[in-house]
Structure 1
């Protein structure tokens, strides 16, 4: 029997790649959207997940075996302080509870590296401290703790993928990589405030593939989703400039960062337990990303 999977947030940036991988593997995919579905061959359901009645009716209609929950407000920088974070915590509990109540067996939730209290070094699922410094981190961590407890008592399988910095096609946000690419393509100033810091960047298709691997592997608990090889932002930006051109338009800020200089992700669980490794190097990912932006011009 083909496994039936619900993917929330499937019309989002990460979701579109997750559902593509699941379809290629032969799963029956049911995807939720609020505004507009993507032209991809899944069964689409228009659901406001912040509405308890709509959420419960949707789960009752589909009766999925598995749930990959990606939906959340995550557009920087507003999402760090948005009151909607608390609504997403509540509605996510409703979604998962009703899913389990109707026989669901496996839950994957997309978390974030922001859940960590950032300190110098590699963030570890077991050794690093959790952050409650803003609404986004606090609500994600609260849901994660609830999910871990609930899964242990109710007897279903659950994993939490803490996704670090992403880049790739279809990112229309104001993150570093797309802002650098579009500025240089438009022959405008490409400004990077902190060129000296190191951060862990993962290509979007690799991130989606890692989440699907986590789902299929059966691993439980928190797992970092990242490349595991932090890159200095100045080198990242200059690599973009070497591909796009107009490197003379790159500028870096002179002030010292308030955040730690080096923040990476310990991907030991992802590598050893999930047995997953990135397919694309940073150079390959940037080439593919820049090619996509060029095609949109």
Structure 2
């Protein structure tokens, strides 16, 4: 595979995207970043306002830039709204068009952001090779449909493609006020921090590590589906407890008493990520939480 120098990043102003662009720029790539509303010019790269759901705009962007590699992160992916949104089908359609024109203009390597929600969540370890794919809601069905199409298209058209399945993330700039952000914000305001299911185990990865994993996946020769996770599941009671401990507000934390409908333990098999992509996280859970708390605290000053 020829050396890749010019990278297009879609959804670059999004949560993962901002860190992906920053890391690519630091590595010396020529980065062309798309945004919908607000560019993040301070992180570097060249920014392009593109409505990716418009086929014409996407084509114009690809023809103008002619990137040799593409990291496709753009999608309406903030839970819980994303699970049932009709926009999933629009993103599937437009993503196919974008990737097709990228390949037609000479693109060599594609990395797309998938999701752990593509799996049927069953008790145990979720693996790229043995776990079942879910079509239970629009988000999972649309992502899985695009993934299967990409794999087939790459094989026949002769380009390199990888699919990074992301699990639970946490860290600065969280747009969805997910568990960690919600807990940190509540405790900083000295309000009750309620966690519905303290007994379940889930895999949490710091946002900068997730971005770094995508860059490593781009630079690797790895193809097909790769789980992007820490590989270490943590009990939510312990996770939330660590936040309370760091803020000295343990007494404000409470847990629901309902028995969870979801599996008690979900682990993630990161063998491909570790061995083939040769990547592992830089931040421990403790370090990641410390940085997240510092960021949220600074936002309140």
Q: Which band: TM-score by shorter chain?
A: over 0.9
Runs of 4+, deviation exceeding 6 Å: none
Q: CA–CA distance in 1 between the matches of 2:290 and 2:112?
A: 29
Q: In the comparison of the two structures, how many residue pairs are matched?
A: 297
Contact 1:66 1:105 in 2 (8 A): yes
User: Residue 274 of structure 1 aligns with which residue?
Assistant: 277
Unaligned runs of 5+ in 2: none
What does 1:39-188 correspond to in 2, within 5 Å? 39-188=42-191
Contact 1:2 1:26 in 2 (8 A): no
What does 1:240-259 correspond to in 2, within 5 Å? 240-259=243-262
Cα offset, 1:2, TM superposition: 6.9
TM-score w.r.t. structure 2 length?
A: 0.97
3-state SS of 1:293 partner: helix
Contact 2:78 2:175 in 1 (8 A): no
2:211 to 208, 232, 240: 208
Q: CA–CA distance in 2 between the matches of 1:296 and 1:172?
A: 14
The two structures, once aligned, show a CA RMSD in angstroms of 0.8
Cα offset, 1:246, TM superposition: 1.6
For residues 210-256 of structure 1, give each alpha carbon's deviation from its aligned partner in whole angstroms, at most 9, with x where no partner exists: 11001001200000000000000000000000011221110100000
User: Residue 16 of structure 2 aligns with which residue?
Assistant: 14
For residues 177-205 of structure 1, give each alpha carbon's deviation from its aligned partner in whole angstroms, at most 9, with x where no partner exists: 00000000001110000000000000001
What does 1:209-228 correspond to in 2, within 5 Å? 209-228=212-231
Unaligned runs of 5+ in 1: none
Q: CA–CA distance in 2 between the matches of 1:66 and 1:219?
A: 14
Contact 2:163 2:224 in 1 (8 A): yes
Once structures 1 and 2 are overlaid, which stretch shifts more, 243-252 or 100-109? 243-252
3-state SS of 1:200 partner: strand
TM-score w.r.t. structure 1 length?
A: 0.99
Cα offset, 1:40, TM superposition: 2.2
Contact 1:219 1:273 in 2 (8 A): yes
For residues 89-130 of structure 1, give each alpha carbon's deviation from its aligned partner in whole angstroms, at most 9, with x where no partner exists: 000000000000010000000000000000011100000000
User: Residue 232 of structure 1 aligns with which residue?
Assistant: 235
Contact 1:23 1:29 in 2 (8 A): yes
Cα offset, 1:294, TM superposition: 1.0
Contact 2:167 2:204 in 1 (8 A): yes
For residues 244-296 of structure 1, give each alpha carbon's deviation from its aligned partner in whole angstroms, at most 9, with x where no partner exists: 12211101000000000001110000001111111111001001110111111
For residues 61-84 of structure 1, give each alpha carbon's deviation from its aligned partner in whole angstroms, at most 9, with x where no partner exists: 000000000000011110000000
Q: CA–CA distance in 2 between the matches of 1:128 and 1:236?
A: 26
Contact 2:21 2:44 in 1 (8 A): no
